[in-house]
Amino acid sequence: AQSVTQPDIHITVSEGASLELRCNYSYGATPYLFWYVQSPGQGLQLLLKYFSGDTLVQGIKGFEAEFKRSQSSFNLRKPSVHWSDAAEYFCAVGAEAGGTSYGKLTFGQGTILTVHP
């Protein structure tokens, strides 16, 4: 069964500092990996995704993530955080086509990001 772990429940950074949010996944084959962001009372907005190819993927709002198969990780990074980045971030894994779980996303528990001025 697929699973996702986000070890950090809450992270606080200062505006302008760099950010790394951790994500570890468990999946038997090549996973489809996603990062979503959720502001209070809102739905989920896609930041970036990894399906195959280049292991460093770029997303919106200056975010990037690196897929490391050997570590089963897909960490999210941003070089300089803005106050508007304060939100909750979710890592998710999706199953490949033809699998029994195709169409289902499994999410981590989320990481709440607080940004200090």
Quick one: 15 or 99, whose CB is closer to another protein? 99
Q: Minimal distance in Å, beta carbon 36 to another protein?
A: 7
Strands 111-116 and 87-94: antiparallel
CB of 46 to another protein, least distance (A): 6
CA-based torsion, 20, 85, 50, 59: positive or negative: negative
Taking the complex as a whole, how short is the minimal distance between the CB of residue 117 and another protein, in angstroms? 27
Residue at token pair 């770029």 = 58
- Residues at the interface with another protein (CB under 8 A): 32, 34, 36, 41-46, 49, 51, 90, 92, 94, 97, 100-110
Q: Which contacts qualify for 42-46: CB closer than 8 Å, 24 or more apart?
A: 44/90
Q: Which is nearer to another protein, 15 or 44 (CB)?
A: 44
* Amino acid type, 75: N
